Amino acid sequence: MIRLLIADDHAVVRQGLLQILALNEDIRVVGEVADGWQVIDWLRTADCDLLLTDMSMPGPNGIALVKRVKEEHPGLPVLVLTIHGESQIAARVLKAGAGGYVTKDSEPAILLAAVRQVASGGHFVSSDLAQRLVFETGLAGDVPPCERLSDREYDIFLRIVQGKRLSEIAEALHVSPKTVSTHKMRLMQKLDVKSNTELMRYAIQHGLMS
């Protein structure tokens, strides 16, 4: 029996996942949470065999959340379920310690296969994403500027291009607005952009927005 914790900030998504997973006798959902801080708190007081988490939620999410979970619970497999199909994002999340990466437009059978594979200690990415991971991130001769960003800078970059204000980002990450502003300044220097508009253009040109 795979005991599974679902983390997603959209109730309708959690309900849809519950309906899909409930049809399988070998999988049991033991908890639902809506943001990164709730994931951390839940795991400190309860136990599960697999964390199925969204990429973009309030609080720690994506790369930062995966790293935090793996630091505190190194034996817990993590499967990311997200709208983000970009290979550069997937590569960072997998490098952070996630055992699998599945997009929300996948068929239920793909999700179920991923849950079982990752829960058993294996790894899972869809075949099309695996191909792009090899050819877009593994064989590139020149490292794109965004690959020079730290994980925290990359996280803040994605939040900015999603339309989040610096104050919102600071609150979600539990840091000061000044810290976020400093990270923003550094990431803009690394990407050689001068404004939020240029940041948006960079994200679109490099396939970093869904």
Helix (H) or strand (E) holding 155: helix 151-161
- Residue-wise pLDDT for 27-63, tens only, equals 999 999 999 999 999 999 999 999 999 988 888 888 8
Query: For 99, what's the count of Cα atoms within 13 Å in the CB-facing half-sphere?
Result: 23
CA angle 14, 15, 17 (to 5 degrees): 65
Left if phi > 0, otherwise alpha if psi is -120 to 50, otherwise beta: which for 126? beta
Please report, as a single letter, which amino acid is at residue 59.
G
- Residue-wise pLDDT for 153-201, tens only, equals 888 998 898 888 999 999 888 889 999 999 999 999 888 888 888 888 8
- Residue-wise pLDDT for 56-108, tens only, equals 888 888 888 999 999 999 999 999 998 877 777 888 889 899 999 998 888 99
Residue 138 confidence (pLDDT) = 52
Q: pTM for the whole thing?
A: 0.72
From residue 154, alpha-carbon distances to 38, 126, 186, 188 in Å are 22, 23, 11, 11
What gap in Å lies between CA 161 and CA 208, rounded to an integer? 9
Question: Which residue segments constitute the domains of the chain, with CATH numbers given?
Answer: 2-138 (3.40.50.2300), 145-205 (1.10.10.10)
Q: What are phi and psi of 119, to 5 degrees?
A: -60, -30
> What mean pLDDT, rounded, does the chain reach?
88
Q: What are phi and psi of 189, to 5 degrees?
A: -65, -45
Instruction: Please list the alpha-helical segments (H only) found in 77-135.
Output: 87-96, 108-119, 127-132
